[in-house]
Amino acid sequence: MKTCIIALAAMAAIAPARAAEPAIRIDTAMAPPAWALLERQLLRANSAACERFAARYLDERGYLLHTPRWGTLDGPDDAIETFYNWTLLHALGGSDSVLALYKKALEGHYKQYGELRTTLTKLAENGAYYKEFITQSDWFHTGEGMRAFTFLGLSDPADPVYRERLKRFAAMYMGEDPEAPNYDPAKKVIRSLWTGSKGPMLHKATVYDWVGDPVPGSFHLLHNRAGRGKLLDLKAWYPKMLAHCKEYLDSVGDHPLNLAATNLALNAYALTQDPKYRNWAVEYVGAWKQRVEACGGNIPTNVGLDGKPGGEYGGQWWKGTYGWNFTIYDGEIEEIAHRNTVTAGSWPGFSNALMLTGDQSFIAVLRRQMDNIYAHKKLVNGKTLLPQMYGDPRGYQQSGAPSWYHYTGNLFQDRLAEIYFWSMDRKDLERVPVEGWLAFLEGRNPDYPVQALAADLDHVRRRVSQMDADQTAPDTRLADYLMGLNPAATTALANLTIGYFPAGNIWSLHSRFRYFDPTRRRAGLPEDVGALVEKLEADAATLVLVNVNPVEPRTLVVQAGGYGEHRFDSVEVSGKTRAIGGPLLHVRLEPGSGARLRFRMTRYVNPPVLAHPWDRPFHPVESN
């Protein structure tokens, strides 16, 4: 059979100046590839395993069955992070039950941690949340806890509760909420490492702010390396937990972790198209861009309330909690520890600015930071070592002029890969190991899809087995315990079906494709459809679509980018090329059919949007 390409009529009554999105019909027979069958199996297994997890570890109110506690070691961010990839799973094609269970867990989480009370810190003396947002925390932890929330808009952008919350949360970082004056619009700084619905912390933190109150009982203290794997009395171990955070107290001034707050503005803009959200994010990241330039291409880890790099440390831009120079003595493990988190917020922040503007100069900032680090590499016994820290660490090397130090084998490969996937500049690929999924995209590992999907299926099996064998009770679990039992495995599906590299902890969906089911009016691959991104180029992408059902046809909408931020210029199928000129392509797959589609694309040219295709101003009509 030949592949037929059919244009659909324009909806002149709705948009007389613009034709409707095009569509193609594919009827070329294709035997179900092993990867497609494994994708369908993994989506089913993921969904069933999440249902099993929720039945075991959520009560009827949506409360997580554990002992709630305030703190960054095992507190509210970890409790909700347990479900970190459930909304992504649904957006990929997981069952509707996964989405419903996440929403149940989220509502239960707000209530459960709203009931929390602390005495040693004021941050949760009346609950961990105010206006359904964390009272005060740092964006390393706040971002971890919001990973699933920020992806909820992919599946349910019309949910009025979600829309209201997201706008309210974004307002807390844009100077619109008088109860949360986190942002100084004059100096373009978020005013503290600690921010939230109660505003910024403008004094030193305490160890109790970080650790919270002790609670009675013995627990699996997974966040504490010295106590991991043991059932320990929390009150007896509590001094060790305080010692862990003894040097984490400097808080005033801006920090690159705060760039993750742009996730709120990005999603609010994608939901509403209100330019104020875009304008704030671009303004804030733009200010950081200037500060990086002032530091010779290095991302400063403190910016003073005066807006200047190093403003809280006499110009020493490398200082600060979680900064370049954050070499501390960890009293819990009784060792020197190096805890620089400079990439955790800056990579999401600058990439969000790319998403909102299409301006690759934001990614150039990240590339230059890596250039600075690589300029100081060492070759030791044939192995490349890179510095992880910068400054003048007491007790670690002789004092003197600030310099790069703490050389390890961490080559920042995930961060370099992200730069490459955002830029698609082949020069950026030179520092990235071509292995795994990237090797497949480069045509060097054709077996990778089957191997990766099979590995994720085994992950689901092992997690279900762990759940079945779990003998713990809620009064021995803290928030971080159940994170290790979350069965959802989404990495292979995200790589292979939509071309997304989920390396970071604080996400936006920088994917090349996304899919919608117009029959069921929901996000994700329709039932029986498999998708494989075979190749990614700067201005092109190759995608295989197949309907593994030999009896029923399937229809889907293919979108250019996670938020429609890219544009399909044309598509070639079976030697025939069809112009597109927009972010959407409607596809009808006849029973047992499939095809390879080569798209010509222009990336980052459209404003990001979360509305589903049928809720946008223009959509196609069916034709005979």
What pLDDT is recorded for position 517?
98
- Which secondary structure element, helix H or strand E, spans residue 513, and what is its range? strand 513-517
Where residue 620 falls among pLDDT bands split at 50, 70, 90?
very low
- Which secondary structure element, helix H or strand E, spans residue 237, and what is its range? helix 234-244
What pLDDT is recorded for position 227?
54
Per DSSP, the chain holds a count of helices (H) and strands (E) of 18, 21
What pLDDT is recorded for position 195?
98
Mean pLDDT of 500-529: 92
Q: What is the pLDDT of residues 133-172, one digit of tens each?
A: 999 999 999 999 999 999 999 999 999 999 999 999 999 9
Mean pLDDT of 474-493: 95
Q: For residue 581, is it within any domain?
A: yes
Using the predicted structure, report yes or no on whether residue 117 has a pLDDT greater than 70: yes
Which of 273-287, 325-339, 548-562 is predicted least confidently? Answer: 325-339
Q: What is the pLDDT of residues 404-440, one digit of tens each?
A: 999 999 999 999 999 999 999 999 999 999 999 999 9
- Residue 386: left if φ>0, alpha if ψ -120 to 50, beta else—which one? beta
Q: For residue 239, is it within any domain?
A: no
User: What does the angle CA 72 – CA 74 – CA 80 come to, to the nearest 5 degrees?
Assistant: 95
- Residue 617 makes CB contacts below 8 A (sequence gap 6+) with 14, 15
Residues 498 and 563 sit within 8 Å (Cβ to Cβ): no
Residues 504 and 344 sit within 8 Å (Cβ to Cβ): yes
What pLDDT is recorded for position 506?
64
What pLDDT is recorded for position 520?
97
Q: For residue 352, is it within any domain?
A: no
Where residue 621 falls among pLDDT bands split at 50, 70, 90?
very low
Q: Under DSSP, is residue 404 helix (H, G, I), strand (E, B) or coil?
A: strand
Residues 276 and 212 sit within 8 Å (Cβ to Cβ): no
User: 610: closest CA among 559, 539, 570, 545?
Assistant: 559
Q: Beta strand 529-536 with 540-547: parallel, antiparallel or unpaired?
A: antiparallel
Task: Return the CATH number at 526.
Answer: 2.60.40.1180
Where residue 502 falls among pLDDT bands split at 50, 70, 90?
confident
DSSP state string for 422-476: HH--HHHHTTS---HHHHHHTTS-TTHHHHHHHHHHHHHHHHHHHHHH----GGG
Q: What is the pLDDT of residues 73-103, one digit of tens each?
A: 899 999 999 999 999 999 999 999 999 999 9
Is the model more confident about 53 or about 18?
53
Which letter does DSSP use for residue 71 in this model?
S
Q: What is the pLDDT of residues 517-570, one digit of tens each?
A: 999 999 999 999 999 999 999 999 999 999 999 999 999 999 999 999 999 999
Mean pLDDT of 289-294: 98
Where residue 618 falls among pLDDT bands split at 50, 70, 90?
low
Could you tell me the CA-to-CA distances from 366 to 282, 369, 371 in Å, in that order? Answer: 16, 5, 9
Using the predicted structure, report yes or no on whether residue 21 has a pLDDT greater than 80: no
Mean pLDDT of 211-228: 82
What pLDDT is recorded for position 505?
64
DSSP state string for 343-356: HHHHHHHHHHHHHH
Q: What is the pLDDT of residues 222-275, one digit of tens each?
A: 876 655 567 889 999 999 999 999 999 999 999 999 999 999 999 999 999 999
**Cα gap 534→598, rounded to integer Å:** 10
How many domains is the chain built from? 1
User: 157: closest CA among 610, 613, 619?
Assistant: 610
Q: For residue 610, is it within any domain?
A: yes
Give the mean pLDDT of the chain. 93
Mean pLDDT of 197-206: 98
Q: For residue 13, is it within any domain?
A: no
Tokens of 106: 């989220």
Where residue 187 falls among pLDDT bands split at 50, 70, 90?
very high
Q: For residue 560, is it within any domain?
A: yes
Residues 214 and 234 sit within 8 Å (Cβ to Cβ): yes
Residues 562 and 508 sit within 8 Å (Cβ to Cβ): yes
User: Phi/psi at 325 (nearest 5 deg)?
Assistant: -105, 20
Q: What is the pLDDT of residues 337-350, one digit of tens each?
A: 999 999 999 999 99
- The range of the structural domain enclosing residue 558 comes to 23-30+512-615
**Cα gap 71→207, rounded to integer Å:** 10
What pLDDT is recorded for position 225?
64
Q: For residue 544, is it within any domain?
A: yes
C-alpha torsion sign, points 144, 146, 149, 151:
negative
**Cα gap 503→418, rounded to integer Å:** 8
Using the predicted structure, report yes or no on whether residue 16 has a pLDDT greater than 50: no
Using the predicted structure, report yes or no on whether residue 4 has a pLDDT greater than 60: no
Q: For residue 35, is it within any domain?
A: no
